Structure 1
């Protein structure tokens, strides 16, 4: 092991958590119409052609890998043209030899070259995710940085931009500014020319944009965006405040002249910030990040502070003209609380609460299918039910089984995520999640939502093997109550059931063969043989239908108030793989008013039942929302389950022993 690799891994040891995985290699591959593009085993392929829409261009794809035995990539940059002499510490960067603007030509000034470094003297923040988004100003999560050059610049085609996220403590912010624009394509980037100049990660003066228009939803006015920069030659920002109209500022603060509430309406709103001469104590608590959340009562995520002034307000910092908009500040770096592996309690028990189909928003939310005499309080109703359920059952793990977010109509999926996990985080309960068909129907992709979730306390979500279809295929072991035992006693599998079938928008996609092969292979890894196991996913598999293909009667407990919305039956059988992997029970969501467990060939196929008032239900027909509870006993040798109704009494119904 090289000294560089050893020092990198030692530094990163303090950052690694269960759900953390760092990118350790990047490959670019190009191919023309006569040759198929190569795939790399163990690498994830970004599905977007980086030359998409360019006439007569080769196809270019980016692949990346994660490997905990290798030093991570800590920064990325793109250079236009062949002149890379302007790159500081050029020898510490690796250049990929494929032109991102590949058109069958060489050595032209429009060429784009991707560089990465692993040198911690340049950056100590390992790269955790890379995405590509289409548009001149696509919506993107606050966890990502934008590389400010159109990947198809000067050659036509679609507007494509690359974004990447990093982990760990960052250099402090040293200056903040704002800009008014007539459109969302509002940046402070370098003006691009045909000259072969270096195009750096951010613009000439180092300004990066805080995503989200501060005047979103207004009828009259301009788009306004905040920007910040980090400079090693400037003092760090140590405080940020927002003042209205003629409020008196404290001494020593710098005013941003741009009125965030542009133009001529409501409060005049300005951001002020203070810088402090740098020393170790100041740097420890300096401002590291800024972010915007939409919604009247947004949740402050772990390590962030909310400034309680609506940046879109009509008066006194309240009553928004457009979208309620709040600024959040992160001071210093707070590592996530350390978590022990999941383990059975001393009495051999382990309890799981499943929450299905919450359909949360970043706004107040709505109510579907509730009695006419029931007051609608939107998402708050679901939150109150969840809190009472958690306090009653006191689970060891909470599993969110998809459609956690309402999808279409949500304009801040990041804020909605903070909202649905907050009751669990407040109680310091470990939690896991899978995606449903609606979660990525708003402003963020599955990759972005995963980055949001993995950075939250008590999160056990994992990306899973990069070369598997989907996001979030992973396994969690539950260990014996005797912590000296090295072998697990029970396995929990989490699978991405995807969304809609690509070739049929009326049908649902299915769990892929690669995922199932991984599941079966993973079940063989225990030294004590195949463990008893369970699987959680969102969309039911075909076998959830009650029809029996054998002479054995179908045993079912619970309600079936709607048809099973599963993928069509096909040659790839998830059920057969579940049998091979010793899956004892599964549980899904998706069909909100089904809540049964159905036994098929010694596997219990369960529904959680819809929990959120933001999704459809049957409460108006005297069928309340509900949640399912599983209790494993005798170190997983037996499992019982029941449901809790979301009523005032919250009664237990349909208690049964699954095996």
Structure 2
């Protein structure tokens, strides 16, 4: 099986047009990769698409430029020469120096909602949404990865084991019905069974998942059935909210498990 090369981002742009009047000239598909998400989530009379130009580092020359940073919003007022792109996007680029370091942008994605999260390691979700006049409850936000992905690290919990006390705890998460955006909770009740006013649904669900994980401290989490609502506009944004509390806590546990191994490698003279 062929191993795909790690790509780097060389440019970014945004294209907006009416579905009934497609553009006469779309970006060259040999250079530009379109993120297959309508930035309006098909809620507008027009479509908008994010295009990312990517290149194989092995094919770069000294004349090629790489993206080092991406901002959205007002023009950055400090140092460097930022380049403007549609949608309020600003790029900081430099010529290829022969080295791909951790500063280089290697992947760009789009997530939706004021409550969106990106639990993937090293990915950074921008707070400011793209400036495309989208519906306020579904803002399109860029998520950016810097640096080449390394090989997966050791997984201290890859092998499921019974605890020393003979117990093995499983938490099952089912029927969260997450949506794009915060959603509306219409059926909540208090501890005495009294109806509560409508509230934001998904943040309450995420908070409940987190508190349950902290209380139960499971050895295994199983996701079953209907994690997404039937009319979810962007399944990735919705699903990320479900798994974020799990990933966050699993990474914390992995760090604790690997810390003793790391300390064993430190020379004694440093203590």
Q: Please, what TM-score do these two structures have when normalized by structure 2?
A: 0.75
Matched, 1:73 2:40: no
1:352–1:380 Cα change, 3 Å:
same
For residue 275 of structure 1, the aligned residue among 60, 76, 94 is: 94
Is contact 2:41-2:234 (8 Å) kept?
Answer: no
SS of the residue 1:341 aligns to: coil
Is contact 1:353-1:397 (8 Å) kept?
Answer: yes
SS of the residue 1:428 aligns to: helix
Task: Give 1:427's aligned residue.
Answer: 249
Task: Give 2:162's aligned residue.
Answer: 344
Q: In 2, Cα distance between the equivalents of 1:392 and 1:353? A: 11
Larger RCO (alpha carbons 8 Å, 6+ apart): 2
Following superposition, the deviation at residue 284 of structure 1 comes to: 3.9
Task: Give 1:223's aligned residue.
Answer: 47
Task: Give 1:37's aligned residue.
Answer: none
Matched, 1:254 2:83: yes
Following superposition, the deviation at residue 173 of structure 1 comes to: 1.1
Which sections of structure 2, spanning at least 5 residues, go unmatched?
255-271
1:497-516 to structure 2, matched below 5 A, reads none
Following superposition, the deviation at residue 216 of structure 1 comes to: 4.2
Matched, 1:241 2:71: yes
Q: In 2, Cα distance between the equivalents of 1:239 and 1:429? A: 26
Q: In 1, Cα distance between the equivalents of 2:112 and 2:50? A: 15
1:237–1:381 Cα change, 3 Å:
same
Q: In 2, Cα distance between the equivalents of 1:217 and 1:287? A: 28
Alpha-carbon deviations, 1:569-616, whole Å to 9, x = none?
Answer: xxxxxxxxxxxxxxxxxxxxxxxxxxxxxxxxxxxxxxxxxxxxxxxx
Following superposition, the deviation at residue 250 of structure 1 comes to: 4.2
Q: Please, what TM-score do these two structures have when normalized by structure 1?
A: 0.33
Following superposition, the deviation at residue 305 of structure 1 comes to: 0.8
Q: In 2, Cα distance between the equivalents of 1:312 and 1:344? A: 51
Q: In 2, Cα distance between the equivalents of 1:373 and 1:254? A: 52
For residue 113 of structure 2, the aligned residue among 292, 295, 304 is: 295
Matched, 1:331 2:146: yes
Following superposition, the deviation at residue 219 of structure 1 comes to: 5.0
1:324–1:217 Cα change, 3 Å:
farther
Alpha-carbon deviations, 1:53-106, whole Å to 9, x = none?
Answer: xxxxxxxxxxxxxxxxxxx134xxxxxxxxxxxxxxxxxxxxxxxxxxxxxxxx
SS of the residue 1:230 aligns to: strand
Task: Give 1:379's aligned residue.
Answer: 202
Q: In 2, Cα distance between the equivalents of 1:308 and 1:283? A: 25
1:167-186 to structure 2, matched below 5 A, reads 170-183=6-19
Is contact 1:214-1:312 (8 Å) kept?
Answer: no
Is contact 1:241-1:272 (8 Å) kept?
Answer: yes
Following superposition, the deviation at residue 334 of structure 1 comes to: 4.8
Normalized per residue, the structure richer in helix is 2
Task: Give 2:183's aligned residue.
Answer: 365
Following superposition, the deviation at residue 416 of structure 1 comes to: 1.0
SS of the residue 1:288 aligns to: strand
Following superposition, the deviation at residue 301 of structure 1 comes to: 2.8
Number of corresponding residues: 237
Task: Give 2:33's aligned residue.
Answer: 208
Q: In 1, Cα distance between the equivalents of 2:54 and 2:251? A: 36
Q: Rg: which structure is higher? A: 1
1:336–1:380 Cα change, 3 Å:
farther
1:250–1:213 Cα change, 3 Å:
farther
Following superposition, the deviation at residue 321 of structure 1 comes to: 4.8
Q: In 1, Cα distance between the equivalents of 2:211 and 2:176? A: 15
Is contact 1:395-1:429 (8 Å) kept?
Answer: no
Q: In 2, Cα distance between the equivalents of 1:243 and 1:380? A: 26
Following superposition, the deviation at residue 309 of structure 1 comes to: 0.9
Alpha-carbon deviations, 1:387-416, whole Å to 9, x = none?
Answer: 22111111111111121111x221110111
| Alignment RMSD (CA, Å) | 3.1
Q: In 1, Cα distance between the equivalents of 2:184 and 2:19? A: 30
1:451-490 to structure 2, matched below 5 A, reads none
